[in-house]
């Protein structure tokens, strides 16, 4: 089955450590996204990538970094510079827009990161 895999489901880290969250998709989608969700809150866009070797900052990119070396993979690194890293992180992908129609986002199951 095609889909998006995020691993691990739960991740615990000590403050001051960088941590990388994995996101892999086999849907052949060009565009990939990282969102952050805090308890009871909406989704805030961290970074997105429209094509391999290219990515753009979202609304809350500070303290995060990404890479897009392969179409299937879009890992997110939460650096020690991120002041409040504890959150639920969601990765998503979709086909690129070709008209006024937007393809729907397909989400992974998310990674819950806890930093103490």
Partner 1 sequence: GQQVMQIPQYQHVQEGEDFTTYCNSSTTLSNIQWYKQRPGGHPVFLIQLVKSGEVKKQKRLTFQFGEAKKNSSLHITATQTTDVGTYFCAVTPNFGNEKLTFGTGTRLTIIP
Q: Which residues bind partner 1 (CB under 8 A)?
A: 31, 33, 35, 40-45, 48, 50, 56, 58-59, 90, 94, 96-97, 99-102, 104-110
Nearer to partner 1 by Cβ, of 13 and 44: the residue is 44
Q: Please count the other Cβ atoms lying within 10 Å of the Cβ belonging to residue 113.
A: 21
Q: Which residue's CB is nearer to partner 1, number 16 or number 39? A: 39
Within its chain, how far is the Cα of 84 from the centroid? 16
Nearest to 20 by CA among 101, 77, 91: 77
HSE-up of residue 94 (Cα within 13 Å, Cβ side):
13
Among residues 19 and 32, whose Cβ is nearest to partner 1?
32
Minimum distance from CB of 62 to partner 1 (Å)? 14
Of 97, 109, 88, nearest in space to 43 by CA = 88
Q: How far is the CB of 17 from partner 1 (least distance, A)?
A: 26
Rounded distance between C-alpha atoms, residue 83 and residue 9, angstroms: 22
Q: Which residue, 11 or 43, has its beta carbon nearer to partner 1?
A: 43
What CA–CA distance (Å, rounded) separates 38 from 48? 19
Least separation in angstroms between residue 96's CB and partner 1 is 7
Write down the least CB distance from residue 67 to partner 1, Å.
17
């Amino acid at each position: 089955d095609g889909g998006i895999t995020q691993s691990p489901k739960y991740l615990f880290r000590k403050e001051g450590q960088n941590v990388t969250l994995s996101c892999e998709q086999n849907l052949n989608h060009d565009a990939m996204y990282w969102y952050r969700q805090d308890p009871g809150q909406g989704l805030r866009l961290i970074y997105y990538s429209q094509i391999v070797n290219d990515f753009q900052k979202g609304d809350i990119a500070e303290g995060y970094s990404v890479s897009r070396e392969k179409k299937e993979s879009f890992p997110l690194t939460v650096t020690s510079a991120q002041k409040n890293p504890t959150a639920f992180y969601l990765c998503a992908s979709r086909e690129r827009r070709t008209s006024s129609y937007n393809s729907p986002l397909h989400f992974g199951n998310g990674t819950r990161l806890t930093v103490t």
